[in-house]
Chains A and B, each alone.
Chain A
Amino acid sequence: MNKKLLHKTLRAYLIYSLLILIIAAPVFYYVTQKLYLQEADDTLLLHKKEFTTFAAPSMNETEINDWNKFNRNRKIGTIGNLQKDTVYSTAYFDTLDAELEPYRELQAPIIIKGKAYTYTSRINLVENEDIIKSIGLLFLVIISTLLIGLFFIAKKLSLSLWKPFYKTLEQIEYFQIDDTRQPVFLNSDTEEFNRLNDSIKKLIEKNTAIYKTQKEFIENAAHELQTPLAVFQATVDTLMQRADVTKEQLAILDSLNENVSRLNRLNKNLLLLSKMENDIYSDKKTISLTAAVKKNLDFFTEQAKAKNLLIRIESNEDFEIKSNPVLTDVLISNLFLNSLKHNIEGGQIHVVIERCKLTFSNTGQSIPLNTNTLFNRFSKANPSEQGTGLGLSLIKKIANINNWIVTYNYENNLHSFSISF
């Protein structure tokens, strides 16, 4: 799935922050603990130093019991075989809280009145669990504050920074090459965006120019061809009238005649296509679909007879469309022609008029047509046939102009073309 630019930036921030949290939390924990223990050790040693400096010299043996009686954390033991100070962590059961409490303890050899004793001093430590909880909470607060901050900053920044970009994007999205309206790009104070706008503008201008030239070329070519075609046609017509034409020459004339007709058809359809692209047929009227189909029926029934075809019309409900009458006529006659042309001897044509839908189904070749190239200009299922190869692209073009949808499917040996209005 595609993500928005903002989300991508934020995702990177989020991943980085989490990574830092994961690495930093244990490191922070160990460092804190180490410093804490060190501090505890220092305190223990200081207490011992104070004891040896101030209390020990004036203490006598009887006072040891009193000392031990009133001091919970500093005791003087009688066993005096310890050689040097040792510090270690341990735990004692606290009867008041009824739980094990961690302690740091120092055992040191001391001398009172010439006799060796063991001095034991302890400090209650904060529980590890508590430290971890506190650190975790602290980090969570920091990270969330950071992320929320980042989110808002990034959002605000991207909105203002990327604003020209989104404007440009919107313009491009609405751009259509056959539309006369050109996109307008706003200038921004960001160099990159101005460069982007300039490049797109140039690209569009160039392509529109090429498109226009192509369009004009087709139109001019089709138009210019009409005069030589007229001369060609007239010359063939004249030649045909000669009394001394042999059978062989007649066959040649027939072929010439067929081909000039074909050229003529091709040219007219090209002209029609290019006119549509020039928006000549833009005025719309309300047309009854059934009437539009029936209007063409006589002509095509006559044509169908020559191929022994049966035309069946099924109109359950008349439906009115808003379109150009000329184009609608071209659309319907091309649909008829298409189902007629690619039909088989003795086959049938089935026209169904429904609400918002017109379907032409016909018998024909027993394999489905290639839908990829079906609607392309000059795309023919059978290259040797006499058709212009423009019929379906005319249908498609007219549908596009009116925002209708053309679909093809092949089912039960019937080729169907549907127009959804």
Chain B
Amino acid sequence: MKLLLIEDEKELAVSIKKYLTDKNFIIEWVNNKKDAIDKISIYEYDCILLDLMLPDGNGFDILKEVKDQKKTDGIIIISAKETLETRIEGFEIGADDYITKPFHLSELLVRVQALIRRKNFNGNNFIAFNEIQIDTLSKTVKVNSQKIDFTKKEIDLLLYLIGNENRVLSKSAIAEHLSGDMADMLDNHDFVYAHIKNLKRKLNDAGCGDYIKSVYGLGYKWKNE
């Protein structure tokens, strides 16, 4: 999978690059509008991560350029601007997703995965992990071909965990993923524990391996045994 990261903040770009590269993504990074447009004109990307405030212009111009060239690259805006107007403008021009800075890298990863899944949609809405199979379209989970009853939230959590395989996910990152916009309000992440516990129990009951590992104090990790 090829990704183009357009971000002028070097340290942030390095972190994103590192986190995503390990997940079988090939990432190219540019830090200005001119280089970005050059790259887009020449290559095809599965996904473009776009910062809106660049030293030599507005990210929206790049977005328009992509659309003008009739490219089908998926686009996720990553921006510190979080007004509703900016969001709506972004979606109207043709962005596929919008993440407000600051964000968790794990969140960015699952958003990229989800976007690519949607883009390469043709029959490929299944995620498999050993005995677990998830249909992201009908939101159903099968373990050893046996359909298991999961709530929407549990499937969401499962997708998030599997998508971030072998990554330590802090409680706050999981809480923010599960609660979306409401995350800004929460100062207590106890509910994460309850959700993880339920998910673990259901997977266990279905005869799954024990993939959810607790990382001392900090959070959880999905790991193949």
Contacts and interface: CB of A to CB of B under 8 A. Distances in A.
B145 to A, nearest CB: 31
A400 interface: no
Contacts of A341: 187-188
B16 A234 contact: yes
A282 to B, nearest CB: 13
Interface stretch (A27-35, A130-138, A262-270): A262-270
Contacts of B205: none
Secondary structure class of chain A's binding surface, majority of residues = helix
Interface in A331-385: 333-334, 337, 341, 385
B172 A257 contact: yes
Interface size class of B (residues with CB under 8 A): 35 or more
Contact of B218 (A234, A240, A280, A387): A240
A234 B17 CA distance: 11
A268 B182 CA distance: 11
A275 B83 CA distance: 9
**Which one of A232, A240, A341, A391 has the highest number of Cβ atoms from chain B below 10 Å of its Cβ?**
A240
A271 interface: yes
Nearest to A305: B194
Contacts of A306: 188, 190-191, 193-194
Nearest to B109: A237
13 contacts: A237-B15, A237-B104, A240-B170, A241-B19, A241-B167, A250-B217, A253-B170, A275-B83, A303-B186, A306-B191, A306-B193, A334-B185, A391-B185
Contacts of A334: 185
A275 to B, nearest CB: 7
Given A257-B170, A271-B82, A231 B188 contact: no
A231 B105 contact: no
Contact of A230 (B80, B84, B172, B194): B80
Contacts of A232: 102
Interface in B161-217: 167-168, 170, 172-173, 176, 179, 182, 184-188, 190-191, 193-194, 215-217
Contacts of B215: 250
Which of B15, B100, B173, B193 has most A Cβ within 10 Å? B15
A221 to B, nearest CB: 13
Contacts of A386: 187-188
A260 B103 CA distance: 11
Interface in B76-97: 80, 82-84
A210 to B, nearest CB: 25
A233 B102 contact: yes
A237 B106 contact: yes
A251 B217 contact: yes
B187 A387 contact: yes
A223 interface: yes
A213 interface: no
A184 B113 CA distance: 59
A232 B105 CA distance: 11
Most buried by A among B83, B101, B103, B194: B101
A388 B187 contact: yes
A53 interface: no
Contacts of B187: 262, 265, 341, 385-388
Contacts of B191: 302-303, 305-306
Contacts of A326: 84
A388 B170 CA distance: 20
A230 B217 contact: no
Interface string A127-156: 000000000000000000000000000000
B105 A230 contact: no
Contacts of B194: 305-306
B140 to A, nearest CB: 21
B128 interface: no
Interface in A188-238: 223, 226-227, 229-235, 237-238
Contacts of A261: 172, 176
B220 to A, nearest CB: 12
Interface in B124-175: 167-168, 170, 172-173
A233 B103 contact: yes
A262 B194 CA distance: 21
A385 B102 CA distance: 23
